[in-house]
């Protein structure tokens, strides 16, 4: 799905691969000026290798490092972005008794603190323009959960709560804030975690009998950020092929 985002500036965190890359390319194809963040220059090299001739700017930003991320966010805040997509996220699975504090903290820092820092930094300019769109990429595990997902589910449920609060606070400034909760999406990370056997097992549990594609999520995000949406705010939209209602 291609929409017209000419004249809009878009920032996509974690935008060098998977869902984030599909979102960034979708906005770029729609005419937006797009910047993506990643944790290293290597991630940028991989992105440009997979998407040659795309004039998408890379910003190095690692939310697990507070001092470095605050400096990067301050620099980003000197610009004006119309659309912010908080997509960067990490996960590490463990049972409650086995979770290490440093792992718990890192997941919360990237998945929750990062969106908070960037939203806080970019909202003032959106308020000045009386227009803005913020999309938070949560997860079905922010709505339902599964064993070994305590740290991740906590962060993603928190992101949904953050979405609702920001939508209420920013509505008067015509800033719409929504979250999108993908289910199992066919990315390199998903295939590495599940393996071929796990993929087949998961597909059998999805009513649509396939994994989602990154472009499926990108299309939903772009719709919510587009002129087609003027009245949806504070919502968490699940995109999982029917998995959570089966």
Q: What is the DSSP string of 119-183?
A: HHHHHHHHHHHT-EEEEEE--GGGTS--TTBHHHHHHHHHHHHHHHHHHHHHGGGTEEEEEEEE-
Sign, Cα dihedral of 6, 39, 163, 92: positive
Taking a C-beta distance cutoff of 8 angstroms, is the pair 27, 222 a contact?
A: yes
| Residue 26 pLDDT greater than 80, yes or no | yes
Q: CA nearest 38: which of 114, 117, 119?
A: 114
Catalytic residue among 28, 48, 116, 152: 152
- In the predicted model, what is the mean pLDDT of residues 20-39? 97
Predicted confidence (pLDDT) per residue in 148-186, tens digit? 999 999 999 999 999 999 999 999 999 999 999 999 999
Q: Report the b/e string of 221-233 with b at 16+ CB within 10 A.
A: bbebbbeeeeeeb
Predicted confidence (pLDDT) per residue in 106-129, tens digit? 999 999 999 999 999 999 999 999
Q: Name the one residue in this structure whose structure tokens are 């009386």.
A: 130
Q: CA nearest 118: which of 194, 43, 14?
A: 14
Return all residues near 205 (Cβ < 8 A) that are at least 6 apart. 243, 246
- In the predicted model, what is the mean pLDDT of residues 184-199? 86
28 has catalytic annotation: no
- What's the rounded Cα separation, in Å, for the pair 35 and 171? 25
Q: CA nearest 84: which of 142, 158, 34?
A: 34
pLDDT of residue 193: 75
Q: Could you give all domains of the chain from N- to C-terminal order, each with its CATH number? A: 9-237 (3.40.50.720)
User: C-alpha angle 72/220/194, rounded to 5°?
Assistant: 80
- In the predicted model, what is the mean pLDDT of residues 130-137? 98
């Amino acid at each position: 799905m291609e929409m017209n985002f000419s004249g809009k500036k878009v920032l996509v965190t974690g935008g060098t691969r998977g869902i984030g890359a599909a979102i960034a390319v979708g906005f770029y194809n729609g005419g937006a000026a797009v910047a993506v963040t990643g944790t290293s220059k290597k991630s940028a090299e991989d992105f440009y290798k997979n998407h040659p001739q795309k004039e998408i700017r890379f910003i190095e930003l690692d939310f697990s490092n507070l001092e470095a991320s605050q400096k990067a966010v301050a620099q980003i805040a000197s610009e004006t972005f119309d659309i912010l997509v908080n997509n960067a996220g990490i996960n590490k699975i463990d049972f409650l008794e086995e979770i290490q504090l440093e792992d718990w903290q890192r997941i919360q820092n990237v998945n929750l603190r990062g969106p908070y820092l960037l939203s806080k930094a970019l909202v003032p300019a959106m308020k000045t323009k009386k227009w803005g769109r913020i999309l938070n990429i949560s997860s079905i595990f922010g709505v339902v959960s599964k064993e070994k997902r305590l740290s991740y589910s906590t962060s993603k449920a928190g992101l949904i709560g953050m979405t609702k609060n920001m939508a209420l606070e920013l509505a008067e400034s015509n800033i719409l804030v929504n979250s999108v909760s993908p289910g199992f999406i066919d990315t390199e990370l998903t295939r590495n975690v599940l393996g071929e056997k796990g993929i087949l097992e998961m597909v059998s549990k999805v009513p649509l009998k396939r994994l989602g594609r990154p472009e499926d999520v990108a299309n939903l995000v772009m719709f919510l950020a587009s002129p087609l949406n003027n009245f949806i705010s504070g919502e968490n939209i699940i995109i999982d092929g029917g998995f959570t209602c089966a």
